[in-house]
A = this chain, B = another copy of it.
Amino acid sequence: MDRFDIALLEALQADSRRSMAELGDRIGLSASACHRRIKALEDAGLIAGYAARLDPEALGLTLQAFVEMSLTSQSRETMDRFEAAVADFPEILECHLMAGQADYLLRVAAADLKGFDAIHRDCLARLPGVSAIRTSFAIRRIRDWQGYRLRGLRASP
């Protein structure tokens, strides 16, 4: 993990379809060197995969919601059942176990309020062991996900 690797990761995070030659020019390495380093980064698990970034607005998914959930109990069993159920619903885009009130934060996208209602009924309300749900809707996206900031990471040059 030297500055070349960090530069590669940043470049691939921003646009993974750049050619090896272009990446090489950008960071000051040859194309084959880039290829080798990228392969190493993939094998090391730093690069988990490559994905197309879709525009939710263009897809008609104009409603993004963050849903906080509290469980009826913090027992291992209740949490395990809840987490297993979350994995079954692809409508749940993300789910985090949060510190503080020991509850979960979920993220959901829908076309509109009607679509969110459907998700609420078919998915959120079916999660087991939930005692309270608090939904917050996003009005506007000020800054959308464009990757992690890598400068300032532990570099071993």
Contacts and interface: CB of A to CB of B under 8 A. Distances in A.
Interface residues of A, number: 61
Given A98-B139, A142-B86, A149-B90, A55 B46 contact: yes
Query: How many copies of this protein are present in the complex?
Result: 2
Contact of A145 (B47, B94, B136): B94
Given A53-B49, A59-B46, A61-B148, A95 B142 contact: yes
Given A100-B137, A149-B91, A50 B48 contact: no
A105 B67 CA distance: 12
Given A137-B99, A142-B95, A142-B104, A56 B148 contact: yes
A31 interface: no
